[in-house]
Structure 1
Amino acid sequence: MKGRDISNMTDKRICIGEITTAHGIRGQVRVRCFGDNPDSLHKYGPLYTSETGTETVTITLQSPNKGAWVARVKTKNGVVDDRNVAETMRGTMLWIDRSALPDIESDDEFYHTDLIGMDVADENGNAIGTVADVQNFGASDLLEIKPTEGGPTFYVPFADDFIQDVDMDARRIVVEMVEGLRGDK
C-alpha cells in the first residue's frame, strides 16, 4: 500500500481546522487544528472557508492556547484587527484541496477522510456497517460505525486490539467485535 493511489479522491476538500472563537480585542482568533501538526494550517497556503466555495483566508499561528492556537487571520480585505470581525468568523471551518496533502508512505497511517464511507466487517466477513466519521475525544481515534441493520451509531477504537485489517483498495475494514462495543451487555 505504500504510496497509495489517491487519484479518485483528489477533487474533494479536506477540513483541517476550525476558527473556534475570537481571542482578545485586536482581532485575533482561536484555531483548532484537526491534524497532528498545527503547521498544516499555514503550510498549504490560503485555506478555503467552505467545502465548495472560493473564499480563502490565511492563518498565521502565534501561540498555543488551551488545546488550540491563537492566530491572526488575513482575508481578501486585509488582516483582521477588530474583535467584532473576528467574532463573525466563529465556527468557520478551514479546508484544503485533497490533492495538496502529501502521499502517505506508511501502511499503518491514514487520513481520516479516506476512512469515512469504508465498509466494516467482523472477523468472519459479516457486514457490520460503514464508517460514518472518525472522532477523537482526547484519548485516541474512534471509528463511528453506522450499522448495516440500522439503529444508533457506535464507536470502535481505531487501535490494533480492535482493527484487524484496513484494505484501502477494497475500501473495507475488518474489526474484532468484542462484547460491549455496540453498547450491548
Structure 2
Amino acid sequence: MELVVGRVVKSHGVRGELVVEVRTDSPDERFAVGSQLVGRVGRGDQATDRDVTIEAARQHSGRLLVRLAGIADRDAADALRGMLLLVHSEALPDPEDPDEYHDHQLVGLRVLDTSGAVLGEVTEIVHTPASELLAISLTDGIDALVPFVSEMVPEVDLAGGTCVIDPPEGLLDLGTS
C-alpha cells in the first residue's frame, strides 16, 4: 500500500523547486536528501507513477520547498503540479509510542461504542492544526468526525480490527430529526 506524504502545489522560482503541501507527521524524514518516493500524476486508470529522489528540501515562509533530482527548471517543475508524493507503507517503521498510529493502520477499523455495539468504520484520518479527527462512516449512512483523543477514543485494537469511541452526547446525532 502506498501512502501520500505530500502533494506538489506549484513551482517556485526558476530553478525547478516545488512548493509541497506536506501530508506526513515526519516531513524531515520523508523529505530528507536522498529519500526515494513515488510520484503519481493523474487519477485512477490514467495515473502514472515514477520514482523520484529528494535532492533538497527547505522551509520558506511556512511552506516546504523541494527539489527533485532531474527537475532543473520552471517548465519541468510546472509539469509536476498536482503530483502526489507517496511512500510504501512497508517502508514505514512501527511507531515507538504504543499510543501512536500510522493513518493506514486506523483506516478500516470497525468502530464500537463502549458497550461493544458496532457504530461504523473509520474511513479517513483528518489532520487539522488543532488535532487529528477520525472520519467515521456510521451504519446509518451518516458520516461523523470524532476527535482522536483518549477521552473520546479510549481503545484502539489493531489486531482485533476495532476502536472504541466514547463521544459526548449528541456528537453522532447529526442528520437525525
Settle same-fold status: TM greater than 0.5: yes
Give the residue type in structure 1 aligned to 2:82: G
CA distance in 2, matches of 1:89, 1:31: 11
Mark the CA change 1:62 to 1:94 in structure 2 (over 3 Å): closer, same or farther: closer
2:147 corresponds to:
157
Post-superposition CA distance 1:46-72 (Å, at most 9, x none): 211139965111123432134431111
**Post-superposition offset of 1:39:** 2.0
CA distance in 2, matches of 1:108, 1:60: 33
1:142 corresponds to:
133
Contact 1:31 1:71 in 2 (8 A): yes
2:67 corresponds to:
72
TM-score of the superposition, structure 2-length normalised?
A: 0.85
Mark the CA change 1:18 to 1:40 in structure 2 (over 3 Å): closer, same or farther: farther
2:28 corresponds to:
39
CA distance in 1, matches of 2:128, 2:170: 19
Q: How does 1:1-185 map to 2 (within 5 A)?
A: 12-43=1-32, 45-50=35-40, 55-74=50-69, 78=70, 80-151=71-142, 153-182=143-172, 184=174
CA distance in 2, matches of 1:143, 1:66: 30
Post-superposition CA distance 1:87-121 (Å, at most 9, x none): 12111111122121112232101001110011001
CA distance in 1, matches of 2:170, 2:56: 42
Contact 2:5 2:87 in 1 (8 A): yes
CA distance in 1, matches of 2:123, 2:86: 19
Secondary structure in structure 1 of the residue aligned to 2:77: helix
Mark the CA change 1:116 to 1:30 in structure 2 (over 3 Å): closer, same or farther: same
- RMSD over aligned CA atoms reads 2.2
Post-superposition CA distance 1:144-180 (Å, at most 9, x none): 00111213x1100000121110001111000002123
Mark the CA change 1:102 to 1:53 in structure 2 (over 3 Å): closer, same or farther: farther
Mark the CA change 1:67 to 1:27 in structure 2 (over 3 Å): closer, same or farther: same
Gaps of 5+ in 1: 1-11
Gaps of 5+ in 2: none
Report the count of equivalent residues. Answer: 169
Post-superposition CA distance 1:28-59 (Å, at most 9, x none): 10112222221222447321113996511112
**Percent identity of paired positions between Structure 1 and Structure 2:** 31
TM-score of the superposition, structure 1-length normalised?
A: 0.82
